[in-house]
Chains A and B, each alone.
Chain A
Amino acid sequence: MAEVKKVATRQSYGEALAELGEKYPDLVVLDADLAAATKTEWFRKRYPDRFIDCGIAEMNMMGIAAGLAACGKIPFASSFAMFAAGRAYEIIRNSIGYPHLNVKIGATHAGVSVGEDGATHQCNEDIALMRTIPGMTVIQPSDDIETKKAVEAAIQMEGPVYMRFCRLPAPVFHTPDYRYEIGKGDLLREGSDLTLVASGLLVTQALEAAERLATEGISARVINIHTIKPIDREMIAAAAEETHRIFTVEEHNIIGGLGAAVAEVVCETCPVPVTRIGMNDCYGQSGPAAELLTYYGLDADGICRRVKETLGK
C-alpha cells in the first residue's frame, strides 16, 4: 500500500470547528480542561469569546450546553468519550436528549486505540449508551475528510448529535468530492461472498482485509457506517440479501455497539449470520494503539483470521 496521509479524527474535529466558527456565528465550543487533547484549542485561539472551558466538570458542561442550546446557540461540548458519554450520561439523557436540545457532543479518545492510558480511559461502551437515547444521532467518522463534512452536517441539522472521534491518526482515503449524508451508509467496495461493515478508525482495516481476502478468492463488500444512528437499514438489508453473511468491525464492546445495531437490522429485514468483531465484553489495557488493535484482533490480520475461521477456510 502506498504511503497515505494520516490524520487523527480528533484533529480533524478541532480543525473543522476552527474553520466553521466564522460561517456559523452561533457556534459555541465547550471543553472540560482537555482542549489541548480534544483539539478544541484551535477554536479557542480564534474565537476566545465563544469558547467556554468548564474545568474538570463534565456533568456541569453538558448542562451548560443544554442551557446554551435552549437560548439558540449551537454548542459543541467536548471531552474524552469516557467522560462525555460515561460520566455525563444521565445529564445528556435528561437535559439534552429529553428536551431534544440542539447540542453536539464531540467525544474524542474513543475506543481501545486510546492506547497507553489504559482501560480507565478506553471507552468501549459509549455507542451503546448514546444510541439508546431517543432522538440522539450517533456519528463516528472514519477519516479527516469525512470528519470535516460530518461536523458541518451536524451543525446543519437540528437536534442532539453524539460524535465519536479517535486519538490514533487514521489514513485519509476519502476524496474531497465525497458526498456525506447523515444516515446514509458509504459503500466502499463491492463484493459478493460477505460484507464487512465497519466504522471509524477500523474502516481502513476492513478495506485492507477485503483486499487480502480477495487474493484468497473471497469477495468481500465493505460498508462504512459513519452514522450508527439512524442507521442505513436499506444498505445493510441489501448487503444481507446479496452477500448472505455479515461481519461487523468496531472498536467498541460487541454488546450494544455497531455490531448490535447491524444485527438488529439484519434480524428484522433479512436474517443471515452476523459475526461481531470488536471488544469481546472485556476491558482494554495499556499499550501502543496499533499493538492493542492487533492484540484484540481488530486490525486487518485479525479481521481476515475471523472471516476465514467463520467460513471454515
Chain B
Amino acid sequence: MDHETKRALQIMAVKVRMGIIEGVYHAKSGHPGGSLSIADTLTYLYSQRLRYRVNEPNWADRDRLVLSKGHAAPALYATLAEVGFFPTEELKTLRHLGSRLQGHPDMKHIPGVDMSSGSLAQGISAACGMAMAARLNGKSYRTYVILGDGEIEEGQVWEAAMFAGHRKLPLVAVVDHNGLQIDGTNEEVCALPDIAAAFAGFGWHTVTADAHDFDSLEAAFLEADKVTDRPTVIVQESTKGKGVAYMENEVDWHGVAPKEEDYKRAMAELTAALAELEG
C-alpha cells in the first residue's frame, strides 16, 4: 500500500473513531470498545474493497456487509456517514427517540445497512443466505460478515460455519479478536478455541491479520478475495477501545458511554491524532 493511500485511510479511521465517540456520547449509552476495535477494518473495507453506490444503496450488485456483532453499530454508522450515505452530523442522534440510527443496525431505515443485526450469531447465517442468493442469481458480489470473538460462543455461529464450509460459499468472515467480552476476558468467561483452527475444521480458508495495520488488513482481504472455492475467515487481532488511550484493553468500556470529561479527553486525543496525520 502506498504512503498516500495509507495516510488517507489513517485519517478516515480517526474520523470514524470521532464519529463513534460523538454518537455514543450523545446517546449516553452504547458500545465504544468493540466499535473502536473494528474502525480500521470498516475504514479499509468501505474505502478499498466494497463495491457500493452511495446514491443507490439497494443496488442489486453491491457487495454485502453484515455486522453480525451489531452492537458495534456506532462504528458502522460512522463509516457509512464518512463515505456519504448520510450526514456525519446525524451521528449525534444515535439511539435517540425517532432517530433512524437505532442502537443496533436496522436495514429498513438506514441507507447502506445490508442486514438488521444485533442479536449475536444471526448475521453470519444471513450472510450465508446472501452468498447463496448470489450463487442462485448468478451475481458476482461478495459477502462479508464481521463477528465478535465473544460472539462465537453462540452455537448458531458454528451451524453457519458448517453450512458455509459444506456449500463452499465464497464468504468472508472477520472475527474481531480483541479478547474481551462483557463479563471479562474470553479466557475468564468461556475460553475460546484456536479460532482459525476451529473454522479450518469446517473447511474454511484461514488468514490472520493485525486489525490496526492497513498493510496487514489489505494483505488479508486480498488473499480472501482470491479464495472463491470455499469460505475464508480473517482472524484479526485487535485492541478493544483502540485509538482512545484510556479505553484500550479495558473491559469496562465494552458497553458504557463516556461522560463529558471523558468525552473531551477522547476527542482531544483524536483531534491531536488527526492534526498530526493531516500536518
Contact = CB atoms under 8 A, between A and B. Distances in A.
Interface of A: 28, 49-50, 52, 54-55, 57, 59-73, 75, 90-91, 94-95, 98-100
B134 A60 contact: no
A49 B130 CA distance: 16
B125 A64 contact: yes
B136 A64 contact: no
Given A55-B159, A70-B129, A73-B136, 4 more contacts: A57-B159, A64-B129, A66-B115, A67-B128
Contacts of B106: 98-99
Contacts, number: 110
Interface stretch (B48-56, B116-124, B210-218, B259-267): B116-124
Nearest to B66: A67
Given A68-B133, A95-B116, A63 B126 contact: yes
Given A54-B163, A63-B126, A68 B60 contact: no
Summarize B's interface: helix, strand, loop or mixed: helix
Nearest to A58: B159
Given A50-B136, A73-B133, A99 B125 contact: no
A50 B118 CA distance: 29
Contacts of A52: 132
Contacts of A94: 116, 118-119, 122
B166 interface: yes
A61 B128 CA distance: 9
B108 A99 contact: yes
Highest count of chain B CB atoms <10 Å: which of A49, A67, A94: A67
Interface of B: 60, 64, 66, 106-108, 114-116, 118-119, 121-134, 136-137, 155-156, 159-160, 162-163, 166
B263 to A, nearest CB: 31
A99 B116 CA distance: 6
Contacts of B132: 52, 64, 67-68
Nearest to A91: B122
Max chain A Cβ within 10 angstroms of own Cβ: one of B60, B137, B159, B162: B159
B136 A99 contact: no
B129 A65 contact: yes
Contact of A98 (B114, B116, B133): B116
Contact of A60 (B128, B131, B136): B128
A231 B116 CA distance: 28
Nearest to A98: B116
Contacts of A61: 125
28 contacts: A28-B136, A52-B132, A54-B159, A59-B121, A59-B125, A59-B155, A60-B125, A62-B125, A63-B123, A63-B124, A63-B129, A64-B125, A66-B126, A66-B129, A67-B128, A67-B131, A68-B129, A70-B129, A71-B130, A73-B136, A90-B119, A91-B119, A91-B156, A94-B119, A95-B126, A98-B106, A99-B107, A100-B108
Contacts of A62: 125
Contacts of B114: 70
Contact of B163 (A55, A70, A71): A55
